[in-house]
Structure 1
Amino acid sequence: MPSTARPLGDHLREWRQRRRMSQLDLALEADISQRHLSFIESGRATPSRDMLLHLAERLGVPLRDRNPLLLAAGFAPVFAERTLDDPALEPARRAIDMVLKAHQPFPALAIDRHWTLVAANAALAPLISGIAEPSLLEPPVNVLRLSLHPQGLAPRIANLSEWRAHLIDRLRQQISVSGDPVLERLLKELLSYPAPEAANAHMPTTPASPFR
């Protein structure tokens, strides 16, 4: 997540480059002149709140990451963020629990954007019990760490090389979109784990994960 201490132009330029867009590309998407966009990025022009949010929308900036843009431009943040146990999200929590319960007798879980376990159905417990490193199950539980750690579920996964490649690829895509430093640190940690044999060249796009 970009730092709020940086100039607005740096924020916008970073998001634009992350989306592999030129100034002209973004200007056309936002229906503004390239000159005006250049002035905003260089700090020679200050966009209105509506213009800034419009640019963020065209760039696909996640809502939580639009607040730093607003702050950098001198505006108040407008996007609130709540945890799932917030009373206002009780209907959402009930819906998640209903979906998880409907998957039984098969295990199902819900995660947040950092792959932290938020909720799970009762069928998950037998699947993860008895791992070699119990601390991996201490909250907050990161499901990628739990899945790929050599003392977690990794020894139980029959096609670990394919499953690992799939998860690493998904995480890299997520980092490319979000630039989230928490995910970058997680990726670095996961890549430090001992790698299994090379993945099958004909690996399916979304492999199943059979357990031993």
Structure 2
Amino acid sequence: MSSRPFSRTTPPISAGAQLRHLRQQAGLSQLDCALIAGISQRHLSCIETGRAKPGPGTLHNLLTALDAPLERCNDIFLASGYAPRYETTPLTSSSMEVVRDAIHHVLHANNPAPAIVLGSHWEVLAANASTGVLFDLVGLAKDAAEGLNLLVTLLQPGGLGDHLCNAEEIRSVAWQRATREASSNSTLAEILKSLPVPNSLSTLAEELLPLLLTRINSPHGELKFMSTFTTFGMPLDITMSSLRIEHLIPADAKTWEVMTNAYERTQNENT
């Protein structure tokens, strides 16, 4: 399948125009946004048109009301004449020890179900032992997860996507989500440019499950997983706001049995 150029709309430059753009993207009227931010609709109108300059506190309340990504918040603070508010702290920094400990705890607790930590570009930053077990079951290297880009391995031929029973559905959903995120993430937008565009979603079945399952081919037959995400609440750092842990929870008794037996066998081999 050939690649198709990925285009993204360049956001407006002025702080007021950027706020209006974010508000419209959120589907909020001026009145609704003003009520959430604790200001008058007239004041918000003046801010959006550039007739009034918001103070740092008002700007923070507006951006919080709009659930703006922290990197975008920094851009708008700069456009308003203020210093950037949020830092990007490396995950390896000593100040992030409590975060690393929390990630380790969540990953370990998820065994024998796979779990991976994703960064803002869908890069795999860490994975638990069961992720290696799953990779081994489908014929991939056990240690192949860390360093992979999940979006790339799902969409490019020869990757994890080739082992999915419902590859078209999963690839389409991944593409759609990444495309939304790329509107405020230029690096992710560049990654999308290099990837093949998946086919449109096939016609939906008459009876739908409550959620889309990840269905994986294995020597033990089809394995079914439901996907959930863990994120850090109230992040005040760009690195923390971008982190998410994806849990692949077995969706039936057979998958639980296969993953449990394979995980326990691996643990016994390592002791």
8 A contact 1:163–1:209 mirrored in 2: no
Deviations 1:81-126 (A, max 9, x none): 2121111111211221222223334432111232110101233335
Counterpart pick for 2:154 among 125, 132, 147: 147
Judging by fraction of residues, say which structure has more strand: 2
Q: Which residue of 1 aligns with 2:185?
A: 180
Q: Which residue of 2 aligns with 1:98?
A: 105
1:160 aligns with 2:160: no
- Gaps of at least 5 residues in structure 1 are none
Which stretch has the larger CA shift, 148-157 or 165-174?
A: 165-174
Cα shift at 1:20: 1.5
8 A contact 1:2–1:68 mirrored in 2: no
Q: Which residue of 1 aligns with 2:96?
A: 89
- Gaps of at least 5 residues in structure 2 are 1-7, 219-271
Which stretch has the larger CA shift, 121-130 or 22-31?
A: 121-130
1:30-49 alignment, distance < 5 Å:
30-49=37-56
Q: How many correspondences in the alignment?
A: 205
Cα shift at 1:24: 2.8
Which stretch has the larger CA shift, 137-146 or 16-25?
A: 137-146
Deviations 1:113-172 (A, max 9, x none): 3211010123333544666xx9xx697521121123211112211121232233334435
Cα distance between partner residues in 1 of 2:184 and 2:87: 20
Q: Which residue of 1 aligns with 2:128?
A: 121
The RMSD of aligned alpha carbons is: 3.3
Which stretch has the larger CA shift, 45-54 or 91-100?
A: 91-100
The higher-RCO structure (CA 8 Å, 6+ apart) is 2
Question: Normalised by the size of structure 1, how large is the TM-score?
Answer: 0.78
8 A contact 2:175–2:198 mirrored in 1: no
Question: Normalised by the size of structure 2, how large is the TM-score?
Answer: 0.63
- What percent of counterpart residues are identical? 35
Counterpart pick for 1:195 among 180, 195, 199: 199
1:25 aligns with 2:37: no
1:42-57 alignment, distance < 5 Å:
42-57=49-64
Cα distance 1:60–1:106, how it changes in 2: closer, same or farther (>3 A)?
closer
**What SS does the corresponding residue of 1:158 show, helix, strand or coil?**
coil
Cα distance between partner residues in 2 of 1:77 and 1:196: 40
